[in-house]
């Protein structure tokens, strides 16, 4: 018996004439706008902020002061974003610590536990939640969530106050990194959950079924197959969420007291955030202060760009495009 | 294989699902759930744990206890399974609750401010503390529509070109373009605003709707480009081959076969892009500011928008001002939901 080879279609080769080349040129030009815009953002912010980097050097990112000078040189201008950077990272990490377990749990629930009828509704809800503007999260946070958050903060402080980060100087629990972090957490949960769900749904069904066939329970299958399989995808999703949290402006602006000193007590009513610093100081900034704000924006831009590029690389590696 | 001589008329076979819970099992688990809820409520009453969140925590505790008791006599494997079922369900409930709370509170707190005047008047002659029957958000709605329209006009062609490049031209830069688009979607909105401020606003020396639109376009482009790529990828390779076979050049195939095929998909891309930026506040604070009067001019001076309207009245902080902010949010959320529904409607069309 001879094996007949199934003919595979030959790769279509197209010879491009002049019209085609024009078309390809135009399309390539259009596609490169995003590259150009991204480059221009970096370039312009750097150019406008360059004077600050020159004046302050590394102290721009390590110092904590943000003092607008008196203009006559008696009180000199002193702008640095150390406290705001640390604050940004603290708030985003709180958000991530809250969002990660919730979204892994949520994604597992949607993929493996939810009854078929409920599932469709919940997935729609998840997609909807991803499109709620962050402004509305902030509004809800300050008007609705804060009363809950303060109560939780008091409880945490009562029980765990002996741990330095849960201690407070003043008994005022509103507008703290904790509360801002909680709201940011619920803001990034839709992002991380969608990515996690996407990855989990790609788990080879055979492997899961094999687990059941070997007598494994549902959790056994999830722990042995699903979670290891989706691990790096979930990490990538978490980093996407982190990038979102680092750059969030209005929600944090509404929920956090900006105080210009290093603060690691997350329940204290003081914190920092580069993005909301820009929004706060922009209105009445002097020309020199404006440059400092642009420089701060440049640092934020670099920070989020690095986080996002890492996340993108991880996600693209783990979810091969169909 | 032996041929069957007689064929018994077979009754319609319905798929059996022996693993699904029988009615008694379901009744039992429902009962357990109810009892756990009552028990949790009792604990809350007697221990002074407060509010709906206290109850939820108690309910979680009781459910865990029930799971442990129920599996006390079987092996550790079943126990872990039962406990994790409770934990995972709790995580899902915890992540969905804030969103439901947001929908609920926006609806409840926003509704009182929704009168016809909210859509027909601006705030030119109204102070924030006037009764909600006076003044409205017409100027904000018009401003938002104006900026989003300009942003779409800029972004849509670029986004589609980017998608066409990734799926049709497939040049050497494919990887780079895809990577940059993805990274660009993570640019913080305030940075986009700052960028337009340092370029356009300082150059024209004027805040304007057009500046706001440019900032929104920066944020909108990655969404449109990515969605456009996704839908263009759905076009079967056969269609392109058919185009070539008919003697069409690549540009004709792309423009007259591929793109028309996914017309509604590209509409989805536009809608998703709009939904992405309609609620953006931060960039507008730096580029279009706000205004209390109805304006239409895209290049001339500050202009209102829904997000800055909400943000501004929330900052004022008096009772009626906050009510106005909630009403603005309600309108914003309704717009987002309408866009979302439209995107779904159009998105389903191409897939067949």
CA distance B37 to A281: 49
What band does B5 get if pLDDT is binned at 50, 70 and 90?
low
Q: Of A121-130, A153-162, B48-57, where does mean pLDDT reach its minimum?
A: B48-57
Residue B56 has pLDDT above 90, yes or no: no
Q: How far is CA B210 from the centre of its chain?
A: 25
Q: How far apart are CA B299 and CA B138, in angstroms?
A: 19
Q: Do A222 and B181 touch (CB under 8 A)?
A: no
> Do the Cβ atoms of B187 and A301 come within 8 Å?
yes
In this complex, which of A29, A129, A309 lies closest to B99 when CB atoms are compared?
A129
Radius of gyration, CA atoms only, chain A: 25
Q: What is the pLDDT of residues A156-208, one digit of tens each?
A: 999 998 999 898 888 888 899 999 999 999 999 999 999 999 889 988 889 99
In this predicted structure, what is the pLDDT of residue A14? 67
Whether pLDDT at B127 is above 90: no
Which chain B residues are closer than 8 Å to A135 by Cβ? Answer: 279, 281, 307, 310-311, 329, 332
Mean pLDDT lowest among B31-35, B235-239, B293-297, B298-302: B31-35
Average pLDDT estimate for B12-25: 75
Q: What is the pLDDT of residue B145?
A: 95
Q: What is the pLDDT of residue A221?
A: 92
Q: Does residue A2 surpass a pLDDT of 70?
A: no
Task: Mark yes or no for CB contact B186/A304 under 8 Å.
Answer: yes
Would an 8 Å CB–CB cutoff place A135 in contact with chain B? Answer: yes
Size of interface A-B (CB pairs under 8 A): 283
- For chain A, percent of residues with pLDDT exceeding 90: 64
Q: Which residue has the tokens 């997350």?
A: A266
Global ipTM: 0.91
Q: What is the pLDDT of residues B181-217, one digit of tens each?
A: 988 998 999 999 999 999 999 999 999 999 999 999 9
Q: Tell me, what's the pLDDT at A322? A: 37
- Range scoring the smallest mean pLDDT among A61-70, B21-30, B332-341: B21-30
> CA–CA separation, B267 vs B277, rounded Å?
16
Instruction: Write out chain B residues lying below 8 Å of A97, CB-based.
Output: none
- Which of B38-42, B99-103, B248-252, B261-265 shows the lowest mean pLDDT across its residues? B38-42
Residue with the larger pLDDT of the pair A6 and A127: A127
pLDDT tens by residue, B263-276? 988 999 999 999 99
**Residue A305: strand, helix, or coil:** helix
As a whole number of angstroms, the distance between CA B346 and CA B352 comes to 12
Mean pLDDT of A64-92: 88
Contact A30 B157 (CB under 8 A): yes
Contacts of B114 (CB under 8 A, 6+ apart): B327, B330, B331
| Contacts A131 to B, Cβ<8 Å | 275-276, 336, 339-340
Nearest CA in chain A to B276: A131
Q: pLDDT tier at B98 (50, 70, 90 boundaries)?
A: very high
| Predicted pLDDT at B281 | 95
Give the pair of three-digit tokens for residue A81. 């974003």
Of the listed ranges A135-139, A140-144, B15-19, B318-322, the one predicted with least confidence: B15-19
Mean pLDDT of A237-264: 92
| Cβ within 8 Å, pair A219-B184 | no
Cβ atoms of A193 and A103 closer than 8 Å: yes
Span A295-304, pLDDT tens digits:
999 999 999 9
**Residues A201-233 pLDDT 10s:** 988 889 999 999 998 889 999 999 999 998 888
pLDDT band at B352 (very low <50, low <70, confident <90, very high): very low
Contact (CB<8Å) A24/B106: no
Of A106, A186, A275, the CB nearest to B190: A275
Q: How distant is the Cα of B129 from the closest Cα of chain A, in angstroms?
A: 18
Instruction: Please name the member of A247, A307, A309 whose beta carbon is closest to the beta carbon of B191.
Output: A247
For residue B11, pLDDT beyond 90: no
Lookup: tokens for B194: 């700052």
pLDDT at A233: 87
> What pLDDT score does B107 carry?
96
Does residue B51 or residue A195 have the better pLDDT? Answer: A195
The predicted structure's pLDDT at residue B351 = 46
Q: Is A204 helix (H, G, I), strand (E, B) or coil?
A: coil
Tell me the chain A residues in contact with residue B191 when contact means C-beta distances shorter than 8 Å. 41, 45, 247, 297, 300-301, 304
Q: Do B310 and A23 touch (CB under 8 A)?
A: no
Contact A24, B250 (CB under 8 A): yes
**B26 pLDDT above the threshold of 50:** yes
Residue of B83, B107, B188 to mutate when probing chain A, most A C-beta within 10 A = B188
pLDDT band at B24 (very low <50, low <70, confident <90, very high): confident
Give the tens place of pLDDT for each residue, B144-173: 999 999 999 999 999 999 999 999 888 889
Please check whether residue B199 is in contact with residue B287, taking contact to mean a CB–CB distance below 8 angstroms: no
B319 vs A contacts (CB less than 8 Å): none
Does B218 sit within 8 Å of A41, measured CB to CB? yes
Q: Annotate B212-246 with DSSP letters as a single string.
A: HHHHHHHHHHHHHHHHHHHHHHTS-HHHHHHHHHT
Tell me, yes or no, if the pTM score tops 0.95.
no
Asked if residue B302 has pLDDT above 50, the reply is: yes
């Amino acid at each position: 018996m001879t094996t007949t080879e199934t003919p595979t279609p030959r790769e279509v080769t197209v010879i491009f004439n002049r019209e085609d080349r024009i078309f390809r040129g135009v399309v390539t030009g259009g596609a490169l706008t995003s590259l150009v815009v991204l480059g221009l953002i970096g370039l312009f912010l750097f150019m406008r902020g360059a004077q600050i980097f020159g004046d302050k050097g590394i102290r721009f990112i390590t110092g904590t002061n943000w003092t607008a000078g008196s203009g006559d040189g008696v009180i000199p201008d002193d702008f640095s974003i150390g406290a705001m950077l640390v604050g940004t990272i603290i708030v985003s990490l709180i958000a991530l610590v809250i969002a990660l377990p919730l979204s892994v749990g949520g994604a597992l629930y949607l993929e493996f536990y939810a009854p078929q009828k409920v599932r469709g509704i919940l997935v729609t809800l998840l997609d909807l939640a991803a499109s709620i503007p962050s402004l509305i999260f902030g509004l809800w946070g300050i008007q609705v969530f804060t009363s809950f958050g303060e109560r939780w903060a008091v409880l945490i402080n009562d029980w765990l106050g002996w741990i330095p980060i849960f201690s407070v100087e003043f008994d005022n629990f509103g507008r703290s990194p904790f509360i801002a972090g909680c709201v940011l957490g619920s803001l990034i949960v839709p992002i991380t959950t969608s990515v996690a769900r996407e990855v989990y749904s790609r788990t080879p069904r055979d492997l899961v079924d094999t687990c059941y066939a070997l007598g494994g329970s549902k959790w056994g299958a999830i722990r042995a197959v699903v979670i290891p399989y989706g691990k790096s995808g979930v990490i990538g999703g978490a980093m996407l969420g982190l990038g979102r949290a680092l750059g969030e402006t209005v929600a944090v602006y509404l929920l956090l007291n900006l105080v210009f000193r290093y603060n690691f007590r997350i329940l204290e009513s003081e914190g920092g955030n580069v993005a909301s610093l820009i929004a706060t100081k922009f209105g009445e900034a002097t020309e020199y202060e404006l440059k400092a704000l642009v420089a701060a924006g440049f640092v934020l831009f670099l920070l989020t760009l690095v986080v996002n590029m890492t996340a993108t690389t991880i996600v693209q590696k783990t979810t091969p495009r169909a | 294989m032996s041929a069957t001589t007689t064929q018994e008329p077979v009754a319609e076979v319905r798929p059996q699902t022996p693993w699904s819970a029988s009615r008694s099992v379901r009744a039992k688990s429902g009962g357990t759930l109810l009892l756990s809820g009552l028990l949790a409520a009792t604990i809350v009453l007697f221990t002074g744990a407060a509010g709906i969140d206290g109850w939820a925590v108690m309910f979680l505790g009781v459910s865990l206890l029930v799971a442990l008791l129920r599996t006390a006599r079987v092996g550790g494997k079943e126990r872990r399974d039962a406990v994790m079922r409770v934990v995972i369900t709790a995580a899902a409930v915890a992540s969905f609750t804030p969103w439901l709370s947001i929908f609920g509170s926006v609806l409840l707190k926003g509704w009182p401010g929704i009168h016809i005047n909210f859509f027909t008047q601006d705030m030119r002659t109204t102070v924030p503390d006037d009764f909600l029957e006076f003044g409205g958000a017409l100027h904000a709605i018009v401003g938002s529509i104006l900026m989003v329209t300009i942003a779409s006009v800029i972004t849509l062609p670029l986004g589609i070109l980017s998608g066409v490049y990734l799926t049709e031209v497939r040049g050497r830069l494919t990887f780079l373009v895809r990577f940059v688009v993805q990274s660009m979607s993570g640019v913080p909105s305030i940075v986009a605003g700052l960028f337009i401020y340092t370029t356009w606003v300082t150059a024209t020396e004027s805040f304007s709707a057009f500046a706001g639109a440019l900032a929104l376009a920066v944020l909108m482009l990655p969404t449109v480009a990515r969605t456009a790529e996704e839908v263009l990828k759905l076009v079967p390779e056969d269609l392109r081959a058919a185009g070539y076979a008919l003697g069409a050049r690549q540009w004709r195939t792309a423009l007259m076969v591929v793109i028309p095929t996914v017309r509604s998909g590209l509409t989805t891309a536009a809608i998703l892009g709009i939904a992405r930026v309609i609620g953006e506040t931060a960039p507008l604070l730096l580029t279009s500011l706000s205004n209390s009067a109805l304006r239409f001019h895209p290049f001339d001076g500050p202009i209102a928008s829904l997000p800055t309207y909400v943000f501004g009245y929330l900052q004022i902080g008096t009772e009626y001002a906050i009510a106005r902010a909630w009403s603005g949010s309600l309108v914003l959320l309704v717009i987002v939901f309408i866009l979302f529904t439209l995107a779904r409607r159009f998105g389903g069309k191409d897939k067949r």
